[in-house]
Structure 1
Amino acid sequence: MADNANAAASTAAPMLPLFYKALQPLHSTVHADWRLKAGDVSFAAETPFLPIVASEIVSAARTYPVVFAGDTAQPIAVLGLEPTNLFVEDGRWASDCYIPAYVRRYPFTFGRTEEPDGFALSIDSGSDRVVQGGTEGTALFEDGKPSALTQQALEFCTAFGREAELTKLFTDALKEKDLLVDRRADATLSDGRKLGLNNFLIVDAEKFAGLDDETVVAWHKQGLLALVHHHLASLDRFRALVDRQALRLVADPSSSGASNEPAAAEAVAPAKSNKSRKVVS
């Protein structure tokens, strides 16, 4: 009975966003002496994919495969084919690669308030960058008002939320035209491991090419056509992911029992598978 009760409680507990452990809405009194230390992106080292917004698709597509989540059609950047982010090493993101806004906003985000459709700037108190008291780091509040750091975080999260709403309009348009189809990506490395990614969606290129003229013109004016083209072009980056994985195996063969010879990908190709906001108080 106790196990069942615990399971029920766990199921009922609200899900926190990726990376976040303990969100707290920022308040000038409660968090008067809280500070934020400098940090790295180690928190994203084991994350093989991240949500992105529509305005990031062009930048993300230059490095990562950009696909859509199978359950929500949320655009995501694929960072690896196993529970590893191939673009983070020693706490640093690869210098020549785009860093998604979802990472850059951490440990801040908007948290829902008790007010209907209300949101307030929140911080992950579970982050090791967040400290209470002392002089290390940057203050979140100064003289009872949001510091420059907190104000910048508010503006960043506001823009991110606005872009998330526009992204939904983009994915809704794709779904309305029934353009999203299931796909799977597979690869076999020279150490014998088979890597794969499933339960994701891509735009069906043939259906996309067959869109009626009225939709094509409308989507061109709205900037949606370019987003789809960048998404489709990004699918070639699956090969680059396997190459990056191969390089990591060579650098640390003990991590998987691989030999010292470079790993080789046999195949990696998409294959068909059977509201109001509050300034911190």
Structure 2
Amino acid sequence: MASAPNANNLPLFYKDLMPLNSRDHSDWKARNVDRAAWVGQQHAVPLTVDEFTQAQRYFPIVFSMGDNPVPLALLGLNEGVNVFFDADGKALEDFYVPAYIRRYPFLLAKLSPENENLSLCFDPSSDLVGEFEDGKPLFEGTEASEHTRELLQFCERFEEAGLRTQSFVEELSKAGLLMDGEVSIQQNDGNTQPFIYRGFQMINQEKLREVRGDQLRKWNESGMLALIFSHLLSLDLMRIIFAKQTAQGKGPAAAAAQGAPN
């Protein structure tokens, strides 16, 4: 999940990337905030396999489309709709916050395509890092502060989880288990056509039932089978998310009125 700080290839949420260093940022601090403004209108965020067990209790877990799919936690079913945060990024309830959201505005990135080493970088457009009077110092003289070391460790663990996630998805793809997903949700009144949601991938349960012998035993021993079932069980939450959207006035009808596609 690491990426070079290239303006044409920035990860979700990031508008720019700058390496953190004691020369330019010796007096800078990182703020603690009670809201995540960067995620308020985002309906899906990347998820690592390390988070499946916790995330499955709150979010449908699906896979993105394309040749290199990644697991996604759905915060809403319609683009621009988020039922867990308000527009300002304030949490609307208690739930597990995915590490991808908590990592911002920091990440590990290659400073150049030729250099394989990863450096701790941040998004300078964020108001979470800067020359503030309040906040936690990022440096103590020329040395990284304890807070910066903790940030670095968090980002390192995220990258390691990203590699495990990549291996998991590659194994699913090799086994041919991913298929185009489709979910039909009927409103309670029964008088309207069901809403159809597409544009994601999910595990093909028919093909999963065909897996036999050593392969199934290998997946069970590695923990992969538990991840597969976490994904499948979480799909039932799509109807819960749909109900939350409707209760919050963010349902499909409202989304259509605002020009947001299903």
Give the TM-score band, short-chain normalised: 0.7 to 0.9
Verify: 1:43 aligned to 2:45, yes or no.
no
- 1:165 is aligned to 163
The TM-score with structure 2 as length reference comes to 0.85
Structure 2 counterpart SS, 1:239: helix
Verify: 1:75 aligned to 2:71, yes or no.
yes
Bigger mean CA offset, 200-209 vs 177-186: 177-186
Matches within 5 A, 1:21-60: 21-39=15-33, 40-60=35-55
- 1:61 is aligned to 56
Q: In structure 2, what is the Cα distance between the partners aligned to 1:197 and 1:144? A: 52
- Post-superposition CA distance 1:179-228 (Å, at most 9, x none): 000012354768x8986542211001111111021111100110000000
Aligned residues: 245
Contact 1:81/1:196 (8 A) holds in 2? no
- Describe the shift of the 1:78–1:177 C-alpha distance in structure 2 as closer, same or farther (beyond 3 A): same
Aligned residue identity for 1:229? F
Aligned residue identity for 1:206? E
Select 2:183's aligned residue among 163, 182, 185.
185
Verify: 1:88 aligned to 2:85, yes or no.
yes
Aligned residue identity for 1:61? Q
Contact 1:79/1:85 (8 A) holds in 2? yes
- 1:108 is aligned to 106
Q: In structure 2, what is the Cα distance between the partners aligned to 1:116 and 1:255? A: 44
Unaligned runs of 5+ in 1: 1-11, 258-281
- 2:136 is aligned to 138
- 1:15 is aligned to 9
Contact 1:108/1:122 (8 A) holds in 2? yes
Contact 1:183/1:199 (8 A) holds in 2? yes
Give structure 1 regions of 4+ aligned residues with deviation exceeding 2 angstroms: 89-96, 184-190, 192-199, 253-257
- Describe the shift of the 1:127–1:58 C-alpha distance in structure 2 as closer, same or farther (beyond 3 A): same
- 1:219 is aligned to 219
Contact 2:7/2:15 (8 A) holds in 1? no
Q: In structure 2, what is the Cα distance between the partners aligned to 1:249 and 1:235? A: 22
Aligned residue identity for 2:96? Y
Aligned residue identity for 1:103? I
Contact 1:54/1:167 (8 A) holds in 2? yes
Q: In structure 2, what is the Cα distance between the partners aligned to 1:27 and 1:195? A: 50
Percent pairwise identity:
32
Structure 2 counterpart SS, 1:110: strand
- 1:268 is aligned to none
The TM-score with structure 1 as length reference comes to 0.80
Aligned residue identity for 1:140? L
Aligned residue identity for 2:168? F
Q: In structure 1, what is the Cα distance between the partners aligned to 2:12 and 2:127? A: 16
CA displacement at 1:255 relative to structure 2: 8.8
Q: In structure 1, what is the Cα distance between the partners aligned to 2:167 and 2:111? A: 24
- Describe the shift of the 1:43–1:196 C-alpha distance in structure 2 as closer, same or farther (beyond 3 A): farther
- 2:243 is aligned to 243
- 1:272 is aligned to none
Q: In structure 2, what is the Cα distance between the partners aligned to 1:194 and 1:36? A: 46
Unaligned runs of 5+ in 2: 1-5, 258-262
- Post-superposition CA distance 1:165-184 (Å, at most 9, x none): 01111011101110000012
- Describe the shift of the 1:155–1:45 C-alpha distance in structure 2 as closer, same or farther (beyond 3 A): same
- 2:260 is aligned to none
